[in-house]
Amino acid sequence: MSQLTVGQYQFIYNAFSFSIATMGAATVFFFLGRGQVSKGYRTAITVTGLVTLIAFYHYLRIFSSWEAAYSVVNGTIRATGAAFNDAYRYVDWLLTVPLLLIELILVMKLSGAETTAKGTRLGVLAAIMVALGYPGEIASSLGMRWIFWVLAMIPFLAIVIELFVGLRASIDKQPQEVRGMVSAARWITVLSWCFYPVVYIFPMIGFTGGAATTAVQVGYTVADIVAKVAFGVFIYVIAVKKSAAEMPEVPLTVPRLVDVS
């Protein structure tokens, strides 16, 4: 990482700050927007906001760790000796990646038993996937990195199969007006997640030095914003549409004796 230029250092620094602002704003959006959906969808939106809140916290830590790891002296970057703590990302994913899948299951409003079964299976697979990625991330040899990459891909593929095969019947039962969006939400999940194993192998395919560090840090940051915020907005819109379909607004001509808002 010592080959970082000042421009690369600052680009990563600004990307982290951008993520803090985005995750924080998204959290407020989801928590305020909770009241706009009917009760059956509020837990889905709560979880959506928790994901961005957890990421907001971790990006604050990542930002501070990055700031502490380097100093700019007379236009050059010097490592201060304090190591940049990459583990924050894995701690974040260990919490947020299972929650992201649970968001999707909750907004589908399956039966209680199905919600528990599918939420648990997907959540556990996601946690195993993240846990298997970490030993490779901190491994000093490229061989170990490859081994854990392959191991983490097994639960990842199991998640993809569960989303596209296991959930097919449930998606067909979604209301007409949101079926396409729920299906698209799976695609956002899978496509945005594909980014992580790709970024992970950058150092393994000869991509090293400051450019690799920049690609990895900015790549993970962009992937996090897509997977958590863009995906979350999608979940929110699905919840708003389903709420509206289930409970049409009372026409103004009808006397409103009871106002439960």
Nearer to its own copies, 6 or 150 (CB): 6
Q: Does position 46 bind its own copies by CB under 8 A?
A: yes
Angle (CA) 141 123 221, round 5°: 55
Two tokens at 7? Answer: 């421009």
Q: Are 37 and 103 in contact (CB under 8 A)?
A: no
Of 17-25, 117-125, 189-197, 203-211, which part binds its own copies (CB under 8 A)? 17-25
Task: Name the minimum Å distance from CB 14 to its own copies.
Answer: 5
Of the residues 21, 79, 124, 198, which one makes contact with its own copies according to CB under 8 A: 21
Of 11-19, 124-132, 200-208, 214-222, which part binds its own copies (CB under 8 A)? 11-19
Q: Does position 82 bind its own copies by CB under 8 A?
A: yes
Nearer to its own copies, 20 or 171 (CB): 20
Q: Does position 50 bind its own copies by CB under 8 A?
A: yes
Q: Are 96 and 53 in contact (CB under 8 A)?
A: no
Of 37-45, 141-149, 181-189, 194-202, which part binds its own copies (CB under 8 A)? 37-45
Residues 178-237, interacting with its own copies (CB under 8 A)? none
Write out the H or E segment, with its range, that includes residue 71: strand 70-73
Q: Which residues pair with 72 in a beta bridge?
A: 77
Q: Does position 87 bind its own copies by CB under 8 A?
A: yes
Q: Does position 98 bind its own copies by CB under 8 A?
A: no
* First-to-last C-alpha distance (Å) of the chain: 55
Q: Does position 157 bind its own copies by CB under 8 A?
A: no
Burial code of 139-169, b = ≥16 C-beta within 10 A, e = fewer?
A: eeeeeebeebbebbbebbebbbebbeeebee
Two tokens at 211? Answer: 């450019």
Q: Does position 144 bind its own copies by CB under 8 A?
A: no
Of the residues 18, 146, 149, 207, which one makes contact with its own copies according to CB under 8 A: 18
Smallest CA-to-CA distance from 237 within 157, 160, 154, 180 is with: 180
Place of tokens 């956002």: 188
Write out the H or E segment, with its range, that includes residue 147: helix 142-161
Two tokens at 165? Answer: 């095969």
Of the residues 4, 8, 12, 22, which one makes contact with its own copies according to CB under 8 A: 22
- Write the Ramachandran bin of 260: left for phi over 0, alpha for psi from -120 to 50, otherwise beta: beta
Nearer to its own copies, 20 or 211 (CB): 20
Of the residues 42, 171, 210, 215, which one makes contact with its own copies according to CB under 8 A: 42
Nearer to its own copies, 24 or 210 (CB): 24
Distance between CA 233 and CA 49 in Å, rounded? 10
Binding site for its own copies (CB under 8 A): 10, 13-14, 17-18, 20-22, 24-25, 28-29, 31-36, 39, 42-43, 46-47, 49-50, 53-54, 57-58, 61, 72-74, 81-83, 85, 87-88, 91-92, 94-95, 246-247, 250, 252, 256-261
